[in-house]
Amino acid sequence: MTTDQAITINIIGAGQWGPNLIRNFANLPQCRVGMVCDMDEKRIQKLSAKFPDMKMTTDTQAAIADANADALAIITPVATHYQLAKQGLLAGKDLLVEKPLAQSVEECEELAALADKNNLILMVGHVFKFNPGVQYVKELLQQGTVGRVISLHAIRTNLGPVRSDANALWDLGTHDLSIFNYWLGTLPVSVTASGLAHLSPEREDTVVANYQYPDHVMATIYTSWLHPRKVREITVVGELKMVVWNDMDLNEPVRIYDKGVDRLEDYADTFGAFRLTLREGLVTIPPVGGKEPLTSECEHFVECVLKRERPLTDAQDGLAVVRALTAANQSMRSSSTSVSF
Ligand SMILES: NC(=O)c1ccc[n+]([C@@H]2O[C@H](COP(=O)([O-])OP(=O)(O)OC[C@H]3O[C@@H](n4cnc5c(N)ncnc54)[C@H](O)[C@@H]3O)[C@@H](O)[C@H]2O)c1
């Protein structure tokens, strides 16, 4: 396949999120949507009205096996990811699988190995790695503007959607873990987590997870789908600067605070004594441009398929996040004890 060719992609799962990928893939010049599949007949009827020229089916196996398709996008609930992804890889298709990649470390490892063995692209929908605000903060961290990172604090809340196959951390905190790993360029080593299963005894609708990264970086995540406000915000506390990324602020998503605590030698006092002085400087609001993150994610997938390149959000990226989510569940099931991984 050469780079001036187009790929055909079949989309499996067209509930709340799927139509966003249909729209994006359909608009890309190097991509054609072969067919859209959803097992729910009513969904297919609704989508046929929205996308009248697109081929639709309720037959998942036919969409996977379709000889005309180069790739599949799997946008179904997480409980189905492993089976559908495995079937897709065995059918020789490149895959974009929504987050989280699968429900266990073992499932992710198997999918990653299968993709590698068959030279297939396996990308995970960690869409925030394609978010211009998140990328801007990554640049600040790389340039040293923020200094050594001391802590990260993420809040991701809303009223719903309530999932029946994942708790709030697996659904929402997946994004924050992928962002933390990307920003820090390293992986967490332990976690303590606690959760509240108020709406259903089977899964937590509110989870607080406290991850430790190398070099004593503390990274907390507060997730809830039982909350009055939609919040998507991460605070970075660095030795030189503090940064707040607020995804709900479309115009000014990044604020850089020249705030901190300086440790001054206090020569007026006894030798070796020091004073802590608060520094409260200016707040900078940089211009952050860029396009819709999902458009960039879809473009990246198509490019990786065409050029046979490993995606920025590859199976190892998906595996690292699922490992951290699994450890948080273990901590919650053992009275919030610290789980190393
Ligand atoms: N990246 C993001 O920001 C983001 C946002 C929302 C959802 N998601 C992810 O997208 C996925 C889907 O979420 P959603 O909110 O659209 O869920 P949803 O329940 O609204 O839709 C899932 C759809 O998949 C269909 N489906 C289930 N099993 C199927 C099968 N075997 N074959 C064909 N169709 C099948 C269902 O009928 C349903 O229409 C999840 O993994 C979720 O985590 C990602």
CATH of the domain at 189: 3.30.360.10
Same domain (yes/no): 303, 268? no
Q: Is residue 318 part of a domain?
A: no
User: 321 CA distance to ligand 1 centroid (A)?
Assistant: 19
* CB contact set of 184 (below 8 Å; sequence gap of 6+): 141, 149, 152, 213, 217, 219
Same domain (yes/no): 180, 44? no
Q: Is residue 1 part of a domain?
A: no
What is the atom index within ligand 1 of the atom nearest the CA of 43?
A: 39
Q: Is residue 48 part of a domain?
A: yes
Residue to mutate, 20, 97, 98, ligand 1, most ligand atoms under 8 Å from C-beta: 98
User: 310 CA distance to ligand 1 centroid (A)?
Assistant: 24
What is the atom index within ligand 1 of the atom nearest the CA of 81?
A: 41
User: 246 CA distance to ligand 1 centroid (A)?
Assistant: 25
Nearest Cα to Cα of residue 276 among 268, 267, 264: 264
Same domain (yes/no): 302, 336? no
pLDDT digits (tens, 9 = 90+) for 297-316: 999 999 999 999 999 999 99
Residues within 6 Å of ligand 1 by CB = 12-18, 37-40, 43, 60, 75-78, 80, 84, 98-99, 125, 127, 171
Same domain (yes/no): 28, 51? yes
> Percentage of the chain surpassing pLDDT 90?
91
Same domain (yes/no): 197, 303? no
Q: Is residue 319 part of a domain?
A: no
Q: CATH number of the domain that 112 lies in?
A: 3.40.50.720
Task: Specify the 3-state DSSP secondary structure of 326.
Answer: helix
Q: Are 34 and 12 in contact (CB under 8 A)?
A: no
Q: Which domain holds residue 263?
A: 129-291+324-340
pLDDT digits (tens, 9 = 90+) for 192-210: 999 999 999 999 999 999 9
Same domain (yes/no): 138, 270? yes
| 12 CB-side CA count, 13 A | 28
User: 115 CA distance to ligand 1 centroid (A)?
Assistant: 22
User: 67 CA distance to ligand 1 centroid (A)?
Assistant: 24
Name the residue at shortest CA distance from atom 3 of ligand 1. Answer: 127
Same domain (yes/no): 108, 177? no
Same domain (yes/no): 184, 331? yes
What is the atom index within ligand 1 of the atom nearest the CA of 76?
A: 24
What is the atom index within ligand 1 of the atom nearest the CA of 60?
A: 32
Average pLDDT, the chain: 95
Identify the pLDDT of residue 2: 45
Quick one: angle between helices 105-117 and 78-90, nearest 10? 20
What is the atom index within ligand 1 of the atom nearest the CA of 126?
A: 1
Same domain (yes/no): 159, 307? no
Same domain (yes/no): 298, 206? no
Q: Is the C-alpha dihedral spanning 322, 103, 228, 43 positive or negative?
A: positive
pLDDT digits (tens, 9 = 90+) for 100-133: 999 999 999 999 999 999 999 999 999 999 999 9
Q: Is residue 297 part of a domain?
A: yes
Name the residue at shortest CA distance from atom 25 of ligand 1. Answer: 13
What is the atom index within ligand 1 of the atom nearest the CA of 98?
A: 41
Name the residue at shortest CA distance from atom 4 of ligand 1. Answer: 17
Task: Specify the 3-state DSSP secondary structure of 330.
Answer: helix
Q: At residue 230, does pLDDT exceed 90? A: yes
Position 10, amino acid? N
pLDDT digits (tens, 9 = 90+) for 163-192: 999 999 999 999 999 999 999 999 999 999
What is the atom index within ligand 1 of the atom nearest the CA of 174?
A: 43
Identify the pLDDT of residue 272: 67
Quick one: angle between helices 18-27 and 293-307, nearest 10? 60
User: 80 CA distance to ligand 1 centroid (A)?
Assistant: 9
Same domain (yes/no): 99, 167? no
User: 25 CA distance to ligand 1 centroid (A)?
Assistant: 16
Q: At residue 1, does pLDDT exceed 50? A: no
Same domain (yes/no): 146, 87? no
